[in-house]
Amino acid sequence: MTNSPLPTPKLAGVATTSLGVAAIRAQEHSRPDRLFADPYAQHFLDASGDAIFAAGTQTAASTPELFTLMADQVAVRTRFLDDALTSAARAGTPQTVLLACGMDARAFRLDWPPATALFEVDFADTLAYRAAVLSAHDITATCRRTEVPTDLRENWPTALCAAGFDPNLPTAWLMEGILYALTSHAADLLLERVTANSAPGSTLALDHQEDSALLRSARAALSKELVDIWHGGPSEDLNSWLARYGWQPEVHALEEVTTTHGRPVPPPFDPQRPDTGRSWLAIGRLPS
Is residue 232 over pLDDT 90? yes
Percent of the chain exceeding pLDDT 90 equals 78
* Best CA proximity match to 249, nearest among 212, 211, 208, 278: 208
8 Å CB contact between 88 and 203? yes
User: What global pTM score does this model have?
Assistant: 0.93
pLDDT band at residue 40 under the 50/70/90 scheme: very high
8 Å CB contact between 263 and 75? yes
8 Å CB contact between 181 and 153? no
Cα(288)–Cα(286) distance, integer angstroms: 6
3-state SS, residue 151: coil
Q: Each residue of 64-111: pLDDT tens digit?
A: 899 899 999 999 999 999 999 999 999 999 999 999 999 999 999 999
Distance of CA 80 to the CA centre of its chain: 11
Is residue 145 over pLDDT 70? yes
Query: At what angle are helices 65-90 and 17-29 packed, to 10 degrees?
Result: 80
